[in-house]
Structure 1
Amino acid sequence: MKTRFLFFLLFILTTAAETTDPTLNDDILGLIVFKADLEDPQSKLASWNEDDVDPCGWVGVKCDSRSRRVAELSLDGLGLSGKIGRGLLQLSSLRKLSLSRNNFSGALNPDLTRLENLHTVDLSDNALSGPIPSKFFWQCRSLRSVSLAVNRLSGEIPATVGNCLTLASLNLSSNLISGSLPSEILSLYGLRVLDLSGNFLIGKIPSGMGRMFNLRTVSLKRNWLSGILPDDIGGCLLLRSLDLGENLLSGVLPETMRRLAMCSYLSLRSNNFTGDVPLWLGDMKNLRTLDLSKNGFSGGVPDSIGSLQFLKRLNFSENSLTGSLPESMGSCRGLVVVDFSRNSLVGSLPSWLFQLGLQKILLSGNNLNGSVRISSASEQTVQILDLSANTFSGLIPSEIEGLLSLQTLNLSHNFFIGSIPVIFGKLNVLEVVDLSVNQLHGNIPQEIGAAVSLRDLKLEKNSLSGGIPIQIGNCSSLTSLILSHNNLSGPIPPTLAKLTNLQIIDLSRNNLSGNLPKELSALPHLLSLNISHNFFSGEVPSGLFNKISPSSLSDNPDLCGSAVNRSCSTVLPKPIVLNPNSSSSHSPSSEFSPENLRHKKIILSISALIAIGAAVLIALGVITITLLNFHVRAATSHSAATLNISDDYMSQSPATDANSGKLVMFGRDDPDFSTGAHAILNKDCELGRGGFGTVYKTVLRDGKPVVIKKLTVSSLVKSRDDFEREIKKFGKMKHPNLVCLEGYYWTKSLQLLIYEFVSGGSLFKHLHESPELNCLSWQERFDIILGVARSLAHLHRHGIIHYNLKSNNVLIDGSGEPKIADYGLAKLLPMLDRYILSSKIQSALGYMAPEFACQAVKITDKCDVYGFGVLVLEIVTGKKPVEYMEDDVVVLCDVVRGALDEGRVEECLDGRLAGKFPVEEAVPVVKLGLICTSQVPSNRPDMNEVVKILELIRCPQDSQADDLC
């Protein structure tokens, strides 16, 4: 009742404002009404008492010393939530309003800027949503600084922002703002700070920015801006920081940028800029940070870089730079970070590399050569040294032990020889050591036990010998131990079980032997353990391989137990036979040592001889029966695997097929799926038919369910060598959101692909055939979209295009995770015939990118992006890509795009969700789907960008600006 009275009184005061002079009570009343809209779980506003004479002593309130009116309200980081109500409109003398780092929600109040004296508004780091009202910028009056960063505001930047001629700082970063940059923003001649980063802005940067001569800081990073940089950008002579990274900008850098002599921070990373690195960069004398990474720059590194005396961080990684590193860079005395990784640089390391006091040296993925020489200077500051994937040779320099600050050492994929230098004793902060894929030999140093901070140790693919040192048990921080593909021998040291942080252990392809320590079963965080291709023996400890693939035990012929499907021999007690000539001081164990058995005559009792004879006869009988059973079973299994398949699908005789067929199971030593072949004959096991073939469910001999796809494009499939090359490539694709390829079967006229079985059915069934009570929630739909995006990004990074993305090829496992099936199968065809792809393979209409209809347009991974966009719209709307009516054909993309243009996109969402979805997530997801279905391939984002955008939509508060390195 009291709150209702306050609202009523506020209404009367507001409507009478034109005829009534403001009084001291206006401030108290306005703040109390404002508080009534809030939740204050920590009672931070307990001091706000409506009975006080004035609010000047309240938490977060500052008053003008003369008028005693509220001049500042700063409630940053107090854990407040609720709406920003109309009570604040009573604070007519308010100059500064700062409510950042809380959880205020709802729409932005457009009347806040009606306060005539307001010059600072900071509502950043909240949960405000909806579009920015045009009215918010309509009457700016004296507004100087506005920050709405890190919220969930959407829509376009209102053109009315051009009215705020007094504005000096505008920060709308990390929101969901879309559309293009309004040209009206260029009329803000007094603007010093402009931060629009982390949004969905598209289009070109408008020319005219050069007229904004007061600009000091501009950040437009993490948007979708495209086109070339305007030539007049060099007119911003006072500019100190320019960040245009992570956009789609292209072309060469305009030469007018050389006039930005005061600029200390320049980042253009992750764009499509081309051409040589300009010589005029040396004219930007004040540069401290220069980041041109992940572009298409070519040519050599210009000598003019040496003119940047104040340069601290230099990142030219992931370009196409050639030539050698210039010696002139030795003049950059302030340099602490250099990153030239993943280019095509040649030559040896420059002399200045270990003389400038660098902290991070990143030169991986080039063609650098020669030996590595490290200065013996007493004070080395290197924290990260990454020279991997080059052609360095010679010994690993022992001077590395002098790099006392070293945290990461990566010399992998080179041609280093000799032994591992003793570097572990002194480098107390060393966390990562990667010396894999070299030509190192000798032992692993025992001094490794001193590396108490070591997290990752990778020494695979060398020629290391000797045993695994027991001192490794002192490396208490170790999480990853990779020693595979060496010549290591001896047992696994039991001290390894002390490393409770271990997650990955790979000891495969060595000469290790002995029993497996039972203590390994107790490692709490172990995710992967591979001991395959060694000489381990004895029983596999129970529980050790419950969550680990049996392939990680393969090629250890003396291992036994349920984990390897091999029974352990029953150990019978040996009869105790005493030598009457021996003294009582000798134990039975010493009496039967190999030496004594050679040199002593042991007298056996008659009962012992009878027992031994009986045991021998029984053993011979067991062996005979076992061999007969094995022979019969093998013959039956082979016959089943051959005859059943050929009888069902082939016209050749069993003998012919047996000679020509080939079965390969990835990661399995015993490729037997005789039960699977039997199940194929049973039509009840058929799961469905698609463009590539018929799918059956079956069970392998070890009880594991799998899916077998019989290809119906046999006449089109490539040769055996090409087929196997592509299939093995797919077999290496491991990702949580990809259906795992387990193996394949080949003959000239029959090809079978063996996949893991995914229990939850297809996405198509969940969307279009499930009852309303079991329909997917918004959270589940978003997780599916994000999982599919991540799996496609993974495929594209490895050069694999799906070609056939649709809801039938997205399977849902028991935990609700999506898994993509049928990826890359079009590559099995001798050529990517568009007619075959469009008419046969793509059996579901609506997902095909328009370029399939044009022979002149190259088929790229942007086809998958188009299909993904259609899939996104299908998931959020619950409608099929194409639906047939009595007199019409309805295309989903067109319907949703029209609804977006008319401002009613929310009406398109699946009605079964019944409003149970966050609008601030749903609308941007729909817009993303439409952008992915752009008719022009170059306008579609790549899947890595899609993943980043989805993560931003889900968690915009996590998209803070990150450091260069």
Structure 2
Amino acid sequence: MGESRRGCAIVLNHLSGPIPPEIGKCSSLTELLLKENLLDGVIPAELGMLRNLTKLWLYTNHLRGEIPIEVWKIPTLEEVFIYNNSLSGQLPVEITELRHLKNLSLFNNDFSGVVPKGLGLNSSIEELDLSHNRFSGEIPPNLCFSKHLERLILAYNQFQGSIPLDIGECSSLWRLRLDHNNLSGPLPHLLENSGLSYMDLSMNNINGSIPPSLGNCRNITLINLSNNRFAGLIPLEIGNLVKLQVLDLSSNVLSGPLPPQILQCAGLNRLDLGFNSINGSIPSSLSKLTGLQYLVLQNNQFAGEIPPSFVDLKSLSINLDLSNNEIIGDVSPLASLNHLSRLDLSGNNLSDNLMKLGALSSLTEVNISFNHFMGPIPVSWIKFLQSSPNSFLGNSDICIPCQEGEPDCTEVSNVSPCNRSNKKKGRLSKMKIVLLSIWSLVFCVLVFLVLGYLLLKRRRAAAKKDGVPLQEGSSFTLNQIMEVTDMLNNKYVIGRGAHGTIYKASLSPDKIYAVKKLTCTRKKGLSMNMVREIQTVGKIRHRNLVKLVDFWIRTDYGLILYDYMENGSLHDVLHEINPLPILLWDIRYKIALGIAQGLEYLHHDCNPAIVHRDIKPKNILLDLDMEPHISDFGIATLIDTSVSPQSSAIIGTIGYMSPETAFMTTKSTESDVYSYGVVLLELLTRLKAVDPSFPGNTDIVSWVNSNLNGGDGYCLDRIVDPGLIREFMGSRDMEEVAKVLSLALKCTAKEAGDRPSMRDVVKQLTDLKMRISLQE
């Protein structure tokens, strides 16, 4: 066992089984180091017999249960490192009697309850890390009573109330993480000799103004105050932070201009001010931050032009986001940002020729939608137009460049080739000459066409009356389908819904399809429903929407042919397959983003917009790569308020319908956003929208909200699928889960006007992934 007179160290040996209680007989033991093994079971109470123990390291094992009270009564304890386990219970008041305690690290467990208020009074505590647990109540005061506290990490809990004043007065404190709690009140005054070098208070409800005393933290390198309720101006004293590298003030209610003093933060490499109300012009002095790699000013009220001095921001390499402001003018100042990876200029009033940006060879993502750009897009950007066509919307005067001598270019996402208009003019001119010379022949042709049209219309009317097919795809393919499915025998059914039955048709090893049969008791209404579905599905083309392969329409039923999705529906993967498959976070995130992108296309890229009206896991199909595809557009309706502001029937599924549509027939994109939020909650919890485990016949939205503590704070492991909790033990990715949960709650807001658009959802999901990767 490696036992000696002073210490016992068994580390990194992959030992399993319980901790032997006999260790308690080693009365002279001062250090017990059993870290990073595979030990399980409970911590034996016999360890309390080690009355000379100073170091207890049991971290990164599989221990469970509570820490015995006997352990907390060992008077000589200095270091207790028991993080990365599955321990639970509460901290007893006896912990306040450990006068020699310096380091207590219990993160990534399942501890709950309040932290005893007297913890800092008797000890000389230097590090306290209780993050990623379920602690609640207020942060105890006097943690810095001994003036030795250096690291205070309480992130990802349910702490409430204000930040204790003594934290701001703790000159020894250099690392402070209180993020992802439910803290409120103002940020305490910070001493002039503050030693803080890292402060993360994000994802709370901290309010008031950012205190000028923040400028006292002259050694600080990172400040993250994002997702709070800070208001007012950014203090001028921000310029005192000459060592600052990361400043994130996003998602607050800050206003006023950006102070020019920020240019004194010469070491700044990441600046995020997004989602505030900061106004005025973009300071030209930002160009003096020559080390800036990441600049986000999105969703503010910046006006005026892009400063010409931006040509000096040569280090911008990760992200430049100026979207959703009131910026005008040209983009010439950005033409030399040769190392930039992501550029978002969407939602402004920029007007310029995009060819100026053609030399930005490092771009991997670009969004210039909803501006006034004109002329050809750079040749190197055509790949972005093909992969993300929505990123170019709202610029009616852009076109695809054509090389000299090319016969034509291919239109991509309604962006026409630049030479098309000229060619059309040339053709029209020649046609006029021809028409003048053979006008009599054209007249005869026109008469013939009119007569032919009338004859065809009469035949179609007769066909409808006689019950023959209205339209048909390939009869050969239809015969094959009928043959391989034994005339649509029930044994080939792979799904049933309110709008039809789905069959699997395997024509060959590489031609496997899903066949949807729709029927209707009212024959006159059938063709209308079928035509609506065919027209809707046939028009759209997006990687996250099911693709129509072929169709056949008759007066009493219809068949629609789709590509077969190997992994079935999201409902099956989440709830039905036995045993349930493991769903890693990257897969869940991929599914969440894909669904959002499909809905974004329907809502924002289709004209008129399309409301699905029945978004749910059963209508999300997963291909071999687990890429999601939204299906079932039979109930989709086109928004056209000038013709029909309301549908004629309530459509949707209980548990997924938004509050405003549960008893009404109103149709809106906001109702789809609500349904999407419910699907997000199912992805995170692996519970059904209306699950029998919910008390009082509530739905998943009510259940999640009932588990919130104090409004915005929440405990992840009460809500999130236990499989995700196990996957992320000790990793950063849990922050992504928390942010997606927050986004789901925004989508399922009771008031439709409080929900984000699907375009905003996609942006937040993509920004989230990028933001987390930068922090790593």
TM-score range, shorter chain: 0.5 to 0.7
Distance in 2 between residues matched to 1:803 and 1:201, nearest whole Å: 42
1:306 to 215, 229, 235: 215
1:454 is the counterpart of 2:342: no
Give the letter aligned to residue 254 of structure 2. L
Identify if the C-alpha distance between structure 1 residues 317 and 271 changes in structure 2 by more than 3 Å, giving closer, same or farther: same
1:781 to 573, 581, 593: 581
Distance in 1 between residues matched to 2:56 and 2:301, nearest whole Å: 53
Give the letter aligned to residue 514 of structure 1. D
Match of 1:137 in 2: 47
Q: Judge conservation of contact 2:216–2:240 (CA < 8 Å) in 1.
A: yes
RMSD across aligned positions (CA) = 6.1
List aligned pairs for 1:546-625, cutoff 5 A: none
Match of 1:534 in 2: 415
Shift of residue 263, structure 1, vs aligned partner = 1.3
Shift of residue 367, structure 1, vs aligned partner = 1.0
Shift of residue 406, structure 1, vs aligned partner = 2.1
Q: Judge conservation of contact 1:114–1:139 (CA < 8 Å) in 2.
A: yes
Match of 1:361 in 2: 271
Computing the radius of gyration over CA atoms, which structure comes out larger, 1 or 2?
A: 1
1:938 to 708, 712, 726: 708
What secondary structure does 2:304 align onto? strand
The runs of 5 or more residues in structure 1 that have no matched partner are 1-87, 495-511, 517-529, 539-554, 559-592, 599-612, 646-653, 655-675, 713-723, 743-752, 770-774, 835-858, 875-879, 883-890, 895-929
Identify if the C-alpha distance between structure 1 residues 862 and 226 changes in structure 2 by more than 3 Å, giving closer, same or farther: farther
Match of 1:418 in 2: 329
Answer 1 or 2: higher relative contact order, Cα 8 Å, separation at least 6.
Answer: 2
Match of 1:280 in 2: 189
List aligned pairs for 1:395-406, cutoff 5 A: 395-406=305-316
Give the letter aligned to residue 147 of structure 1. W
1:220 to 130, 137, 140: 130
Match of 1:491 in 2: 401
Shift of residue 340, structure 1, vs aligned partner = 0.9
Distance in 1 between residues matched to 2:466 and 2:351, nearest whole Å: 47
1:469 is the counterpart of 2:381: no
Match of 1:318 in 2: 227
Give the letter aligned to residue 430 of structure 1. L
Give the letter aligned to residue 411 of structure 1. L
What secondary structure does 1:406 align onto? coil
Q: Judge conservation of contact 1:446–1:471 (CA < 8 Å) in 2.
A: no
Shift of residue 98, structure 1, vs aligned partner = 5.5
Write out per-residue CA displacement over residues 2-42 of structure 1, whole angstroms, 9 at most, x where no aligned residue. xxxxxxxxxxxxxxxxxxxxxxxxxxxxxxxxxxxxxxxxx
Identify if the C-alpha distance between structure 1 residues 935 and 336 changes in structure 2 by more than 3 Å, giving closer, same or farther: closer
Q: Judge conservation of contact 1:514–1:537 (CA < 8 Å) in 2.
A: no
Match of 1:202 in 2: 112
Distance in 1 between residues matched to 2:316 and 2:500, nearest whole Å: 54
Q: Judge conservation of contact 1:735–1:791 (CA < 8 Å) in 2.
A: no
1:515 is the counterpart of 2:409: yes
Match of 1:432 in 2: 342
Give the letter aligned to residue 317 of structure 1. S
Shift of residue 348, structure 1, vs aligned partner = 0.9
Give the letter aligned to residue 534 of structure 1. V
Shift of residue 302, structure 1, vs aligned partner = 2.0
1:954 to 720, 727, 742: 727
Match of 2:524 in 1: none
What secondary structure does 1:345 align onto? strand
Match of 2:302 in 1: 392
Distance in 2 between residues matched to 1:169 and 1:257, nearest whole Å: 22
Q: Judge conservation of contact 2:28–2:50 (CA < 8 Å) in 1.
A: no
Shift of residue 365, structure 1, vs aligned partner = 0.8
The runs of 5 or more residues in structure 2 that have no matched partner are 432-437, 471-480, 506-510, 522-531, 550-559, 601-611, 632-651, 665-674, 735-771
Write out per-residue CA displacement over residues 655-693 of structure 1, whole angstroms, 9 at most, x where no aligned residue. xxxxxxxxxxxxxxxxxxxxx9xx9xx997998877xx4
Shift of residue 630, structure 1, vs aligned partner = 11
Q: Judge conservation of contact 1:197–1:221 (CA < 8 Å) in 2.
A: yes
Identify if the C-alpha distance between structure 1 residues 756 and 322 changes in structure 2 by more than 3 Å, giving closer, same or farther: farther
Match of 1:346 in 2: 255
Percent identical residues:
24
Shift of residue 364, structure 1, vs aligned partner = 0.7
What secondary structure does 1:166 align onto? coil
Distance in 2 between residues matched to 1:892 and 1:97, nearest whole Å: 47
Identify if the C-alpha distance between structure 1 residues 536 and 372 changes in structure 2 by more than 3 Å, giving closer, same or farther: closer
1:330 to 221, 236, 239: 239
Match of 2:649 in 1: none
1:697 to 492, 497, 502: 502
Distance in 2 between residues matched to 1:223 and 1:949, nearest whole Å: 14
Match of 2:525 in 1: none
Identify if the C-alpha distance between structure 1 residues 833 and 639 changes in structure 2 by more than 3 Å, giving closer, same or farther: same
Distance in 2 between residues matched to 1:354 and 1:935, nearest whole Å: 43
Identify if the C-alpha distance between structure 1 residues 703 and 380 changes in structure 2 by more than 3 Å, giving closer, same or farther: same
Write out per-residue CA displacement over residues 779-835 of structure 1, whole angstroms, 9 at most, x where no aligned residue. x43329997799789999999xx999999899887678999997777536756579x
Shift of residue 465, structure 1, vs aligned partner = 2.1
Q: Judge conservation of contact 1:867–1:933 (CA < 8 Å) in 2.
A: no
Give the letter aligned to residue 48 of structure 2. W
Q: Judge conservation of contact 1:131–1:154 (CA < 8 Å) in 2.
A: yes
1:157 to 42, 67, 71: 67
Identify if the C-alpha distance between structure 1 residues 211 and 792 changes in structure 2 by more than 3 Å, giving closer, same or farther: farther
Write out per-residue CA displacement over residues 300-352 of structure 1, whole angstroms, 9 at most, x where no aligned residue. 22222233333332221111222111113223333332211111111111011
Give the letter aligned to residue 201 of structure 1. F
Shift of residue 403, structure 1, vs aligned partner = 2.4
Shift of residue 870, structure 1, vs aligned partner = 8.6
Match of 2:640 in 1: none
Structure 2 length-normalised TM:
0.64
Give the letter aligned to residue 212 of structure 2. D
Identify if the C-alpha distance between structure 1 residues 387 and 244 changes in structure 2 by more than 3 Å, giving closer, same or farther: same
Shift of residue 741, structure 1, vs aligned partner = 13
Distance in 1 between residues matched to 2:139 and 2:418, nearest whole Å: 66
Distance in 2 between residues matched to 1:150 and 1:122, nearest whole Å: 11
Give the letter aligned to residue 310 of structure 1. N
Distance in 1 between residues matched to 2:103 and 2:136, nearest whole Å: 22
Q: Judge conservation of contact 1:513–1:537 (CA < 8 Å) in 2.
A: no
Write out per-residue CA displacement over residues 907-927 of structure 1, whole angstroms, 9 at most, x where no aligned residue. xxxxxxxxxxxxxxxxxxxxx
Number of residue pairs matched? 627
Give the letter aligned to residue 460 of structure 1. S
Give the letter aligned to residue 185 of structure 1. I
